[in-house]
Structure 1
């Protein structure tokens, strides 16, 4: 019986330390994610993947921590969304934040396309008037 207990203690010690190192790795990875040049969808999938890895190690990430990781990884382009979420009296859900960010990205892309189209029209009109 004594030998069995020693074996189980050794197994727990061996695999427990690997779980601890995995937890530390995944938690560090979660909080170091940055959107950068990724699409919003790809960025959010990376954050979700980190949360899922932590959950697979028995570490459930709260909505608050999940949202914090998302907001901390955003560029100043999303400052308006960050301000709305962080100043709200009622806590947002992860799904609510995800929806806001996907909408904000779509709006930014639309505005960027409109500005680009306007610049092309002005450029085309200028070249027509010089001919």
Structure 2
């Protein structure tokens, strides 16, 4: 890029110096109607890593489109170009059915806000569902390794949703789901 671009302090230097050509190397999960929390966590890591979160969360406001004399503002042109690149990244990380919901939205911020509002209540419901699943988890006829794997899977999903389960609570959930044949084990662990 030109030297005048690299001196513009309003744009993240990582993008000015080395734009990402293929975002799919960094985003392996496409957004569906049921995986918002996982998709969001991978996208947030990328945005934070390239100092671009302010574009999608709305804290970076665009510079004026034109100067008072009516001439184009180069800072706005660069800002808009970056926003459109981010919009492209967002759109390329969607499944076709989710993409249909955001057709017509023209900024990365608008798309991000739509997802936040459309999927946040689903996300809260999913967190509650996961917590209830962990609370009601029973070993039953499963092998111990299968039972522990189920518990770990639920715990991992809660961690991805930024609601991690403490180790102490995890032990209690696991012990609570064991049948009476494990009563002596539970007693020895709890005493």
TM superposition score category, shorter chain reference: 0.5 to 0.7
Runs of at least 5 residues in structure 2 that lack an aligned partner in the other structure: 1-60, 62-106
User: What is the match of residue 179 of structure 2?
Assistant: 75
Deviation >3 Å, runs of 4+: 4-11
Q: RMSD over aligned Cα, in angstroms?
A: 2.1
1:17–1:84 CA distance, 2 compared to 1 (3 A): same
Give matches, 1:19-38, under 5 Å.
19-38=123-142
Query: Aligned to 1:44, which of 148, 153, 161?
Result: 148
d(CA) in 2 for partners of 1:74, 1:26: 19
* C-alpha distance after superposition, 1:31-77 (max 9, x if no partner): 11111111111111111111011111111110011111101100011
Runs of at least 5 residues in structure 1 that lack an aligned partner in the other structure: 88-131
Q: What is the deviation of 1:10?
A: 4.4
Q: What TM-score, normalized by structure 1, do the two folds share?
A: 0.58
d(CA) in 2 for partners of 1:64, 1:16: 28
SS in structure 1 at match of 2:182: helix
d(CA) in 2 for partners of 1:52, 1:33: 15
d(CA) in 1 for partners of 2:156, 2:112: 28
Bigger relative contact order, structure 1 or 2 (CA pairs below 8 A, ≥6 apart): 1
More helix by share: 1
Q: What is the deviation of 1:14?
A: 1.7
1:9–1:85 CA distance, 2 compared to 1 (3 A): same
User: What is the match of residue 58 of structure 1?
Assistant: 162
Q: How many positions carry a matched residue from both structures?
A: 86
Greater Cα shift, 33-42 or 6-15: 6-15
